[in-house]
Structure 1
Amino acid sequence: MADFEGNKSAAEGYLQRFHDQVTGHYLNGEMRVPPGAETFSNLTPSDNSSLGQVVAGTADDVNAACEAARDAFPAWRDMPGAERKKLLHHFADLIVERAEEIALVESMDCGQPIRFMQQAAQRGAANFRFFADKAPEARNGLALHQEQHTNYTIRSPLGPVAVITPWNTPFMLATWKIAPALAAGCTVVHKPAELSPLSAMLLAEISLQAGIPPGVWNTVNGFGETAGKALTEHPAIKAVALVGESATGSHIMRQGADTLKRVHFELGGKNPVIVFDDAHFERALDAVVFMIYSLNGQRCTSSSRLLIQSGIRDHFIAALEQRVKALRVGHPLDPATEVGPLVHSGHFEKVMSYMDIAREDGATVAVGGTRRQDLGPGNYVSPTLFTQADNNMRVAREEIFGPVLTAISFDTEEEALQIANDTEYGLSGYIWTGDTGRALRMANRVEAGMIWVNSENNRNLPSPFGGAKMSGIGRDGGDYSFDFYMETKNVCIAHDIHKVPVLGR
C-alpha cells in the first residue's frame, strides 16, 4: 500500500464514479437507478463530506430483487456443486485483483484505518475459496445403518435468502454470509447498511464479472425501516442472516414471524477479557489493546470489559494507560493511523455521551474521553480507558461500540466468573492465565458462544462463530453455515425384514 498522499490520490480516483453518478441497486444482473428514486447523501467519516448520492430503496425495489432471486433459484439450485465451485473461485480471484480498490473505498466509506482494510479483500477472498471448496459436498448428509432399516440424510438449499450486513467491516462480513449461501445453492438479496454502502456495490460488480447468473445475487440499498422491513417480510425470502444490533434482531424476528422465516443473528456484545495474575503479561497487554482499539473499537467481538485480577491490577493498568495514550489517531488512509474516525456523526455523539455517563456513575476517565478537534471536522475520538469501574455501571453493561475500554478489578476466579456472566450479552470471551486447569474451568463456565484462551480473536473458518443470550442465534463457519442455508431430509429404507403392523386384515 502506498504512503498517505498516494493512498489519497488513488482513493479519489476510485471514488470519483460514486460522485459522478447515483449509486443504485443491482437487480437481476443489472445496475439500476429507478426513475424518480429518492436518494440520500453518503458521508465519509474522515471529514463528513459527501462521497455521493445513494438510492433509498422502496418496497417495489425490494420486490423486484426478491422476485429475481426466486426466479433464478431453480437453475442455481440444480447447478452441480463442482460448477458453483469454479464460479466462486473465479469470484475470489477477482476480489484479489481489486484488492487496492476495495481497501481504499471501504476505508473512506466507514473510517477504518487502511492498515486493517488492507486485509479486507484477502479475507473476503478466503471466505469465497473456503466455501467454494465445500460446494460439491454441501448436499452430503449422514449414513445411519440399523439392523432392519438404513437411514441417510441429504440436504437441499432453502431458496432465496436475505443477507443484511452492518457498517463496521462491511466487505468482509458480506462475504462471510453470502459465500456459504451461494455455495449451498441459495440465491441472495443483500441489503448493506446505509452508512457504508459502497463496498457492497463493488461486490455486486464482481459477481457480474465472475459470471454469477442474473438474479442469483441482488443488492438493494436503503434504510432498515423501509427496504429492510420489506425484505424481511417478503414471502419469497426463506431465511434472514443478519449482523447488527440486538434490537434490530428483535425487529426482524417480529417482521419474519408471519412467514416463519429461519433467522440467523450475530448481534451485540459486551465481551470480557479476563486477565489473571499468572497471565503472560506482555502478550495479554498486547491482546487487550488490540481487541478493543483495533477497527476503531467497532467490532462485535471486541473485548470492551477488562477484568483484571488485583495482584497485577496496578502494574497492568499503568502499562495499559501508556499504551492507550500512545495510540495513533488519524486519517483512515494514513498507513500510520491505528484508530480512525467513527463511522457517522450520530454514532460519534453516542460514544462521546458515555464520557459523561462514566463520570456520573463514579468511574475515572484515566485516558482520553475527548474529541480530537485537532484532526478537523471528522468523527475523531481519543481512545479512552475507564478505570475504578464496577459491573453495575452503564459503561460496563451497555455496548458502546467505540475505542473505549472499561477496567474492572476482581480477586478470585469465582468473582471473575460472576462478573463476566453478569451481562445480557454472550458473544465472546477471552481468558488469560498460565493455569491450564483454570483455563478449562473458565472456558466451560463463561457464558458465551466463543472463548479464546491466551489469544486474541483468532479466525478459524471451519469453527462455529456466533453468540448466546442477546448476542445472537445460530452459527456461521464450516458446515454450520450449511445447516442454516439448507434443509436436511431424512430418507429411511427398509431391508424388507421387519414386521409391518397389521390392522383390519
Structure 2
Amino acid sequence: MPDAPANNLDATQERASGYLKRFRGGVVPHLIAGQRTLSTSGATFDTIDPVTNDRQCAVASGDAADIDMACNAAAEAFKTWRNVSGAKRREILHAIADAIEARSDEIALVESSDTGQPIRYMAKAALRGAENFRFYADRAPGAADGQSLPDSDHINYTMRQPIGPIGVITPWNTPFMLSTWKIAPALAAGCTVVHKPAEWSPLSAVILTEIMDQVIQRHGGPAGVVNLVHGMGERAGKSLTEHPEIKAVAFVGETTTGSHIMRQGAATLKRVHFELGGKNPVIVFDDADQDRALDAVLFMIYSLNGERCTSSSRALVQEGIYRDFAAKAAKRVANLKVGHPLDPATEIGPLIHPRHAEKVLSYPGLAREAGATVAVGGERALGGKGNYVQPTLFTEARNDMRIAQEEIFGPVLTMIPFKDEADAVRISNDVRYGLTGYIWTRDVGRAHRIARDLDAGMIWVNSENVRHLPTPFGGVKQSGIGRDGGDYSFDFYMETKNIAIAYDGHKIPRIGL
C-alpha cells in the first residue's frame, strides 16, 4: 500500500479548496490556439463533488464549432511543430515534466476532489505523469529513426514521420496520468493534439494543458500544439473523431464507446488506438504464496475505488484452498476504510458519479438472483449524499453469471473456484475482454504455459500490475487495439516511410521496343 501523506484532513481540505477556487469562480474554459475561450454557443455543463453530489463548477460545453477551431489550430501548429528537432522537443518535454512536478500538490488535490479517488493514490499521480514526459522526452531525438535494409541492387532505408494532429479522448477514473500517457509520446513524435477529457472529471486536464502550452510557447513553439475542448461525447467527442484534420484518435474508456469512435472515424480512415474495458482474471493456484497473492488480489481490485481497467475483478482460486482464501479475503475486505478522499487514511473513496454508483450497486441483487453469495458489502456506505459504496466480495460464483462477465468498474470482487490448470484457462478466457491476466504459482512451467494460453495483452506472474514504461501496454478482443509504451507508441503516432536507392547496376525491364 502506498504511504499516506503526512497531513490531516482539515489542512488537506483547506489546500484543496484553495486550488479549486479558480474553477468555481466562473466557467472553466477551453484552451484553443493558446487562448482561453468559452463555447461559441455559450453552453455549459456542471460537474459535481463526489463526496456530496453538490455542484462543483460550471464548464464550457463544446460542440462542432469549438472542435473545428481547435482542430484547425492543431493543423496550423503542426506545420511548425513537426519540424522542431528531436533534441529541442526533448528539452521542452523535460521542462513540462519539471512544471508538472512543481504543481504536483495542486494536481493531486484537484484530481482527488474531482474524481473521488483517495489522496493516497492521487498523491503520486503528478509524479507518474512527469515520469511519462521524461521517458518520452529522452526518446524524442530518436523518434524518426529507421532501419537500413540493403539488398543486392538497392539500399533501402526507413524513417518515421509524425502522422499529424491527434485527437485524444481520456476517461474519468485517473485522468491526469492517462492523459500524459497519451499526449507525451504524441508530442515527442512531432504531432499536435486536441484533447477532449471526460466530462465527469475535466479539471486536471485544464492544469495539464496550461502547463504544456506555457512551456511550449516559452521555448519558442507555436500556439495550438496542444488544445483542450470540454464537452459531451455525443457532441464534442463525435465532432473530434469525425474531423478531417485529425489523423488518428487515441481513446481510453468503455468498449461500446470505442466501437462508436471506430465507426465515426471510418469516413476519414482515421487510425485508432483503443484502451478499453477488462474483466481480468487473477489465478491463484494451491502452490502459490497465498499471503502475497491475497495482498495483490485485494490491491488490484480495491485500490483506486476499483475504477481501473486493469483491476483483477475475477479471482479464480483453486478448489483446495478456495474456502480458506475466501475467508481471509472477506476479513480483509470488511476492514477496508471507506472515507473522504482527502483523508490520508482512506482506502476507498466515493465513486465518481451517482449514475455510476447506482450501476455498481445493481450487481449485489444480480449476484443473489444467480446463486452467488454476497460475502461482504453490497450496500451504500457512510450514508449521506455522496457516492460511497461498501467494498464488496461475491463468493461461490460461476463464470456464466453477469457478475463474472460484465465490467462493474467498482470496488467489487467476484471469486470463482477452479479445478485444475485447464479449467483455470477455460474460465479466464470465457469473457469478451482480454486486457490483463495475473498468475500466482510457484510452478515455473505452469506459469509459462498459462501466460501463453491466456487471451490477454499483458500478463503478470506472482505480481500485481507494475508498469515498466518500455514494455507494450494494451489488450486483445474487446479490450482494445494497439499498444502503448516504449517505441510501440511511435508506431501509432508516426508513419513509417521506406526509401529505395538503386546502385545503378540492376537490369530494368524494357517494353514497347
TM-score (norm 2): 0.97
Report the alpha carbon displacement of residue 204 of structure 1 after superposing the two structures with TM: 1.2
1:91 paired residue among 83, 96, 111: 96
Distance in structure 1 (CA, Å) of the matches to 2:466 and 2:504: 51
Deviations 1:91-127 (A, max 9, x none): 0000000000000000000000000001100000000
Shift of 1:207: 1.4
Matches of 1:333 and 1:493, distance apart in 2: 62
1:461-499, CA deviations, whole angstroms, 9 ceiling, x for partnerless residues?
Answer: 010000000000000001000000000001111222222
Within 2, Cα distance between the matches of 1:108 and 1:230? Answer: 29
**Secondary structure class of the residue paired with 1:225:** helix
1:334 paired residue number? 343
Deviations 1:378-413 (A, max 9, x none): 100000000010000000000000000000000110
Q: Indicate the percent of aligned positions where both proteins have the same amino acid.
A: 63
Tell me the equivalent position of 1:264.
273
**Is 1:279 paired with 2:288?**
yes
Cα deviations across residues 191-222 of structure 1 (Å, max 9, x unaligned)?
A: 00000000000011111331343110000000
Q: Please tell me whether residue 430 in structure 1 is matched to residue 435 in structure 2.
A: no
Deviation track 1:147-176 (CA, whole Å, cap 9, x = no partner) reads 222211101001101000000000000000
Q: Which residue of 2 aligns with 1:180?
A: 185
The one-letter amino acid paired with 2:313 is: S
TM superposition shift of 1:321: 0.6
SS in 1 for 2:415: strand
8 Å CA contact 2:120–2:346 kept in 1: the answer is: yes
The alpha-carbon deviation at position 36 of structure 1 amounts to 5.3
Q: Is the 8 A contact 2:39 2:61 kept in 1?
A: no
* Cα distance in 2 for residues equivalent to 1:34 and 1:275: 52
Alpha-carbon distance between aligned partners in 2 of 1:17 and 1:435, rounded to the nearest angstrom: 55
Q: Does 1:465 align with 2:470?
A: no
Counterpart of 2:264 (choices 233, 255, 268) is: 255
The equivalent residue for 1:159 is 164
Give 3-state SS (helix, strand or coil) of 1:206's partner: helix
Query: What SS is found at the alignment partner of 1:5?
Result: helix
Q: For residues 390-429 of structure 1, what are the structure 2 equivalents within 5 Å?
A: 390-429=398-437
Confirm or deny that 1:208 pairs with 2:216: no
Q: Could you tell me which of 7, 20, 24 is aligned with 2:12?
A: 7
Structure 1 residue 441 corresponds to structure 2 residue 449 = yes
Q: Matched residue of 1:121: which SS?
A: helix
**Retained in 1: the 8 A contact 2:40–2:65?**
no
Partner of 1:465: helix, strand, or coil? coil
Pairing 1:487–2:487 present: no
User: Which of 132, 135, 138 does residue 133 from structure 1 map onto?
Assistant: 138
CA distance in 2 between counterparts of 1:332 and 1:37 reads: 33
Q: CA deviation at 1:74?
A: 1.0
What amino acid does structure 1 have at the position aligned with 2:228?
T
Give the superposition deviation at 1:30.
1.1
For structure 2, list consecutive stretches of 5 or more residues without a partner in the other structure: none
Greater Cα shift, 112-121 or 314-323: 314-323
Rounded to whole Å, the distance in 2 between the matches of 1:118 and 1:373 is 24
Cα distance in 2 for residues equivalent to 1:285 and 1:390: 20
SS of 2:283 mapped into structure 1? strand
Question: Is residue 66 from structure 1 mapped to residue 60 from structure 2 by the alignment?
Answer: no
SS in 1 for 2:28: coil
Query: Counterparts of 1:457 and 1:34 in 2: how far apart (Å)?
Result: 40
- Of 30-39 and 46-55, deviating more is 30-39
Please give the residue correspondences for 1:231-242 in structure 2 after superposition, counting only pairs within 5 Å.
231-242=240-251
Q: Does 1:226 align with 2:235?
A: yes
Pair 1:111 & 2:116 matched:
yes
Return 416-425 or 144-153, whichever deviates more: 144-153
Q: 1:274-353 residue pairs with structure 2 within 5 A?
A: 274-353=283-362
Q: How much does 1:34 deviate?
A: 3.5
For residues 240 and 268 of structure 1, the distance between their equivalents in structure 2, rounded to whole angstroms, comes to 17
**Equivalent AA in structure 1 for residue 452 of structure 2:** N
Matched residue SS, 1:232? helix
Give me the whole-angstrom Cα distance separating, in 2, the residues matched to 1:191 and 1:36: 17
Task: Name 1:124's counterpart in structure 2.
Answer: 129
Distance 1:495 1:35 in 2: 58
| Cα offsets for 1:278-300 (capped at 9, x unmatched) | 01111100000000000000000
Task: Return closer, same or farther for 1:36/1:151 CA change in 2, 3 Å cut-off.
Answer: closer
Within the candidate set 218, 236, 252, 1:243 is matched to: 252
CA contact (8 A) 2:118 2:304 kept: yes
Q: Which runs of 4+ in 1 moved over 4 A?
A: none
Please state how far the C-alpha of 1:504 moved relative to its aligned partner. 2.4
Question: Match of 1:478, SS?
Answer: coil
- The one-letter code of the counterpart of 1:109 is D
Q: Does 1:377 align with 2:382?
A: no
In 1, Cα distance between equivalents of 2:502 and 2:340: 68
Q: Deviations over 1:302-324 (max 9, x none)?
A: 01000000111111111111110
CA distance in 1, matches of 2:402, 2:486: 36
Q: Secondary structure at the match of 1:377?
A: coil
- The total of aligned residue pairs comes to 504
* Cα separation, 2, equivalents of 1:134 and 1:334: 38
Q: CA deviation at 1:35?
A: 5.6
Q: Take 1:67 and 1:487, find their aligned partners in 2: how far apart are those partners?
A: 21
The residue matched to 2:484 in structure 1 has which SS? coil
Distance 1:476 1:444 in 2: 20
Rounded to whole Å, the distance in 1 between the matches of 2:135 and 2:8 is: 32
Rounded to whole Å, the distance in 2 between the matches of 1:189 and 1:100 is: 26
Residue identity in the other structure for 1:180: P
The 8 Å contact of residues 40 and 66 in structure 2, kept in 1 or not, is answered as: no
Structure 2 Cα separation of the partners of residues 342 and 278 of structure 1: 36
Distance 1:343 1:209 in 2: 30
SS in 2 for 1:327: coil
CA distance in structure 1 between the partners assigned to 2:12 and 2:26 by the alignment: 22
For 1:262, the aligned partner's letter is R
| Deviations 1:339-370 (CA, angstroms, capped at 9, x unpaired) | 10000000000000011111111110000001
- 1:93 aligns to what SS in structure 2? helix
